[in-house]
Amino acid sequence: MKQASISRRSSLKLFALSGTTVLAMPSVLWSAKNVVKPLRFGIITDSHYADREPAGTRFYRDALPKMKEAIEALNEGQLDFLIHLGDFKDQGAEANQQETLKYLQEIETVFQTYNGDGYHALGNHDVDSIRKTDFLNTIKNTGQKQAKSYYSFETSAFVCVVLDANYDAEGTDHFYAEGADWEDANIPQEELRWFKQTLSQAQKPVLVFCHHPLYPFYKEGSKFHVTNHQEVQEVMEASQKVVACFHGHVHKEEFKTIKGIHYITQLGMVDYEGLENNSFSIVELDEAHLKIQGFKRASDYKTPLK
């Protein structure tokens, strides 16, 4: 895996492109109006911040200085936006609602020092000892008076869709303090109808963000993907507008292309001790390629959009 030091902050601007380009990807329907600069955005996932002792590879307290370092670097990146892909915070060794809210407030305070548009996807650990409404009432998403668990926003070049799979098969919110099954994550029918309508109305190509992978992903005998992922894939494929989907959750990197859609899963920030084991990325989409600039443990990646 390619390593990168924080000194790579100085190389961020080298990644910027000048002038205008016409976005064109044969596998996706494009509008003739899409004459734009390349899109650049930051990704962080699975920070799992909590004031508790390490467990396995997870160094929960280190997530706070890692987040500070990441935001400092990304503030220099001339980005269109920053998104966190879920499991933003964690809980103590013994679940306590007030403590958990305190951890959430602390990590959100650091996240909000990013000097541009910032967004959140909802992870399973974000609804452990606090409910979904508690999380959404504490965090901020740019342009929204009240944060939502699934929503969309637009850039000059793309429509970005953030999905929430923290539901059971009947569409009831997951809340792990009451025994929700973390392996049975679903995009419920109401959300799926909204997603389909959002895609049908999109006049630009679409990027999708979801904490849980929207393609099959098993690790160490456990299921990490969305249970009804095939149904979600069919909606995306039928639209011919989705370019790529970005995920966290599994604390492992993976890059796949399925029927012309790129599925990208990123490393967790919380894993391993110290700033030298931080992990975050910058994604850039130009007229021909999807590129990822990885920091510290995160890998660089580049794929043609054809």
Q: What is the pTM of this model?
A: 0.89
Element (H, E) at 295: strand 289-296
* Dist CA 225 CA 241 (whole Å): 22
Per-residue DSSP letter, 49 = B
Residue 234 CB contacts under 8 Å (≥ 6 apart), including other chains:
none
How many other β-carbons are positioned within 10 Å of the β-carbon of residue 233? 19
* Dist CA 133 CA 100 (whole Å): 14
What is the total count of domains within the chain?
1
In a domain, 1, yes or no: no
Instruction: Output the pLDDT for position 259.
Output: 96
Residue 25 belongs to domain with CATH number = 3.60.21.10
How many other β-carbons are positioned within 10 Å of the β-carbon of residue 56? 6
How deeply is 8 buried, as exposed, middle or buried, from its count of CB atoms within 10 A (0-12, 13-18, 19+)? middle
Q: Please name the residue that has the structure tokens 């160094």.
A: 59
Q: Which domain holds residue 209?
A: 6-304
User: How far from 63 is each of 2, 49, 262, CA to CA, in Å?
Assistant: 21, 5, 28
- Contact call for residues 224 and 249 (beta carbons, < 8 A): yes
Instruction: Output the pLDDT for position 36.
Output: 58
In a domain, 170, yes or no: yes
* Dist CA 60 CA 63 (whole Å): 6
Compute the CA torsion angle 246, 252, 257, 259 (nearest 10 deg): -70
- Contact call for residues 125 and 107 (beta carbons, < 8 A): no
- Contact call for residues 113 and 71 (beta carbons, < 8 A): yes
In a domain, 147, yes or no: yes
In a domain, 298, yes or no: yes
In a domain, 143, yes or no: yes
Residue from 172, 107, 173 nearest 140 by CA:
107
Question: Could you tell me the mean pLDDT of each successive run of 10 residues in the chain, 306 residues long?
Answer: 38 33 41 62 98 98 98 97 98 95 98 98 97 97 93 96 96 91 96 98 97 96 96 98 97 97 98 98 94 98 90
In a domain, 71, yes or no: yes
How many other β-carbons are positioned within 10 Å of the β-carbon of residue 154? 12
- Which tokens go with 26? 């044969």
